[in-house]
Structure 1
Amino acid sequence: MRAFRCRVCDSPLFFENSVCVSCGTPLAFSREERAIVPVDDQGRYVDAGGMLWYVCANREVAACTWLARAEGGQCSACELTRTRPADDDTVGLAQLPVAEAAKRHLVVELDALGFPVIGKHEDAVNGLAFDLLSSVDESVVIGHADGVVTIDLAESADDRREKVRVELDEPYRTMLGHFRHEVGHYYDWQLVTDGPLRERYRELFGDETAGYQAAIDRHYAEGPPADWREHYISAYATMHPFEDFAECFAHYLHICDTVDTAAEQGLLTVSPAAFSSVRDLVVGVWVPLSTALNQINRSMGKDDLYPFVIPAAVLDKLAFVASVVPGSSAPGASGAQPTHAEDVRSANRAESRRRGFLRRLRG
């Protein structure tokens, strides 16, 4: 998350601020400007090009702080939500803002990394949508299918999420983590398994055509392989190549977001821009940073912030995830040094785009 400041009084702001606590100015988030901007008493904002924007219609129901193109309309993040709780579902509606906040955080990060975010309202076949469902009266299974990510809103409650985490013996479970993992399945579907990256994908993750239900049954009956820590980021990743990729995708987003936030807050002594590969970024920045954050959490009597160990095999998988984004503009996407002339030219173009991304990120 970037460090935001009020354009009226220059006081620090945070991503979900709807008003400046210092000067009282009403605020909204502009996705186009990647900035928190002031709005007038009617919730309107005029951008540099003279275009008029309005606060999202879901400011009350979903605590949305974003701008929409039309008065009374939804912002681009809220438009991605295909289904939400009914108006008479008071429990589900109370849980909705937590999930929507995580989704907005995800969208901003996907934008920054260069991943396309196209909703099903724009592309009914290949687009992305979210069903944010209440499990008050029915069972909800978190997952992805054909571009639709389903989230159980009950997971917005800390006690429910912690109960499930303990039952499944997971080291980490958050609402944002769910969004990052499930959207990893979406980009696997859209950008990887049916494209030119499939051969490398199978070298790293395995054959994705292996039976998924059989893999689930085997995983929960037998558990992960004894040596899984040498090859996977989590026990869950061992279940199937789809889950391995989604777990690595989520961790790539964990790492990029946290490192960028640390840089914005002045917590790093070296710039992330100094690293041209994911491997170097993880070893040079992420490992010492996450170790320090874990120790800080322990000082407060809390569990580790990042309770994972990244083996060498997972570094290769993270580098692959970085290469998936169209144009390879994400940090670390340049990867290993190419040997063929066209590969060299492609790598140079990717590196140029990567540096442009980092400049935009810092700006």
Structure 2
Amino acid sequence: MKLFECESCGQPLYFENTVCESCGHRLGYVPEVNKVTALEPEGEAWRALGAPGTLYKFCRNAEVDACNWLLPADSAEPHCAACRHNRTIPDLSDAENMARWRKLEMAKHHLFYTMLKLKLPLKNRTDDPEGGLAFDFLSDQVDADGNVTTVLTGHDNGLITINVAEADDAEREKRRTQMQEPYRTLLGHFRHEVGHYFWDKLVRDAGEESLAKFREMFGDERADYGQALQTHYNNGPPADWQDNFVSTYATAHPWEDFAETWAHYLHIVDTLETARSFGMKIRPRIRKGHELQAEVDFDPHKARDIEDLIDNWLPLTYAVNALNRSMGQPDLYPFILSPAVIAKLGYMHDLTH
């Protein structure tokens, strides 16, 4: 993600900021110009310093501090380009649900930032009632007898369900440990699940030639999915899984391999853009430091090929993992990218472009 600044005073801003702490201006994000911009009131609308000539209004979810995106003041839509994909939100009369939903929305908006920059097809349920992208944010239900109905996070023909408990840091860490996952975040969930949606749109619906390319790279998705998952949970990944897969879960089935690789491609593009915005250069002060040099001086969303991304990504991950270890924290990026995995990431690059 890029680095933003207040047009009024130059203060650095985060994507999620709603008020400039330096000059006090109200802030909002305008996706059409990719700016978190300072705002000034004009009647019942807002004038954006970073996008003059158009009056804006806030997404309706800004009323509950769950969104800071803007849309044209004369738009008939009450919700922004990200929030109009919501189908179900949790009961907001519950303060815990409200806090968790805000975290979910923060991660979801981060996802939409990247998807919009990559110009991916983003029909919602109004545009495509049968297969448009939509989100259900649900919580586990307990009946009168104390029986719990657990909500499973997953994807079904464009509908992505997220258990709001994933927004609880302690609960998510418990699940990460139970599932033996080195990495589990809200944003990671969104990137993974939306990968299933884009498999439908960019692979399945693109015809037999597209499916053939997919099967050559990831395997035959026609293998029984339920049985494949059961085998994975019973037996775990093969001993040599790191030679061909980015994660253990990717070994379960070709669909999961695609979704895991898709998520990692988005991780790479977004993080490299952040590194570029901060002008980061990697110049290790060791004898063979030249082998780990990197400088992200291009827009990762418009990279020519996967090699441009990986040549910068690997040195950056070595550096940030070393920084984390210096703070006594686990590796920020606890993954190994084998040649086979890099080839799969190259497939994702070609697919998104």
For 2:328 and 2:188, locate their aligned partners in 1 and report how far apart those are by CA, in whole Å: 22
Q: Which piece of structure 1 moves more, 129-138 or 257-266?
A: 129-138
Whole-Å separation in 1 of the counterparts to 2:83 and 2:61: 8
The separation in 2 between residues aligned to 1:227 and 1:220, in whole angstroms, is: 17
Letter in 1 for 2:46: Y
**SS in structure 2 at match of 1:203:** helix
CA deviation string 1:319-352 (max 9, x = no partner): 1111112xx2xxxxxxxxxxxxxxxxxxxxxxxx
Confirm or deny that 1:259 pairs with 2:272: yes
Q: State the Cα distance separating 1:294 from its structure 2 match.
A: 0.3
8 Å contact kept, 2:280–2:296: no
Q: Which residue of 1 aligns with 2:98?
A: 93
d(CA) in 2 for partners of 1:91 and 1:164? 19
- For residue 60 of structure 1, report the CA deviation from its aligned partner: 3.9
In 2, Cα distance between equivalents of 1:315 and 1:202: 16
Query: What amino acid is the match of 1:161?
Result: R
Counterpart of 2:45 in structure 1 is 44
Match of 2:340 in 1: 313
SS at match of 1:59: helix
| C-alpha spacing 1:39/1:3, structure 2 compared with 1 (3 Å) | same
Q: Distance between the aligned counterparts of 2:296 and 2:61, measured in 1?
A: 40
Give the deviation of 1:88 after TM superposition: 2.9
> SS where residue 194 of structure 1 aligns?
helix
> 1:313: how far off?
0.6
Deviations 1:229-272 (A, max 9, x none): 10100010000000000000000000111111101111133424
1:297 to 324, 330, 343: 324
Cα 1:45–1:151 change in 2 (3 A) is same
Query: 1:241 corresponds to which letter in structure 2?
Result: P
2:110 matches 1:105: yes
CA RMSD of aligned residues (A): 1.9
For the 8 Å contact 1:143–1:150, the answer to whether it is kept is yes
Cα displacement string for residues 102-141 of structure 1 (whole angstroms, at most 9, x for unaligned residues): 0000001011122122211222123101111123644110
Q: 1:159-308, aligned counterparts within 5 Å?
A: 159-195=170-206, 196-268=209-281, 269-272=295-298, 276-282=304-310, 284-308=311-335
**1:25 — aligned with what?**
25
Task: Tell me the amino acid that sits aligned with residue 14 of structure 2.
Answer: F
Distance 1:235 1:43, change over 3 A: farther
Q: TM (normalized to structure 1)?
A: 0.85
Contact 2:269/2:309 (<8 A) preserved: no
Which of residues 49, 64, 68 in structure 2 aligns to 1:65? 68
> Which runs of 5 or more structure 1 residues have no equivalent in the other structure?
329-363
Name whichever structure is richer in strand by fraction.
2
Equivalent-residue separation in structure 1 for 2:151 and 2:193 (angstroms): 14
What displacement does 1:188 show? 0.3
Does the CA-based 8 Å contact 1:18-1:28 persist in structure 2? yes
**1:16 equivalent in alignment to 2:22:** no
Residues matched between the structures, number? 325
The residue number in structure 2 matching 1:334 is: none
Please list the CA deviations of residues 46-102 of structure 1 after superposition, one character each: whole Å capped at 9, or x if unmatched: 465743211122124352111134489221211111100123333222210000000
In structure 2, what is the equivalent of residue 358 of structure 1? none
Q: Counterpart in 1 of 2:145?
A: none
CA distance in 2, matches of 1:183, 1:202: 20
TM-score of the two chains, using structure 2 as the length reference? 0.87
Aligned equivalent of 1:356:
none
Distance 2:296 2:89 in 1: 43
**Aligned position for 2:146:** none
In the TM superposition, residue 33 of structure 1 has moved relative to its aligned partner by: 1.2
Q: 1:18 to 1:228 in 2, by over 3 A?
A: same
What 5-or-longer segments of structure 2 have no aligned partner?
A: 143-148, 282-294
**Counterpart AA for 1:277:** D
Distance in 2 between the 1:270 and 1:94 partners? Answer: 36
Corresponding residue number in structure 1 for 2:287: none
Q: CA 1:273 to 1:91, structure 2 compared with 1: closer, same or farther past 3 Å?
A: closer
* Structure 2 residue matching 1:39: 3-state secondary structure: strand
C-alpha separation in 1, matches of 2:309 and 2:52: 38
8 Å CA contact 1:92–1:133 kept in 2: the answer is no
Instruction: Give me the whole-angstrom Cα distance separating, in 1, the residues matched to 2:229 and 2:222.
Output: 14
Counterpart in the other structure of 2:163: 152
Q: What letter is aligned with 1:172?
A: Y
Conserved 8 A contact 1:16-1:65:
yes
Give yes or no for contact 1:165–1:172 (8 Å, CA) kept in 2.
Answer: yes
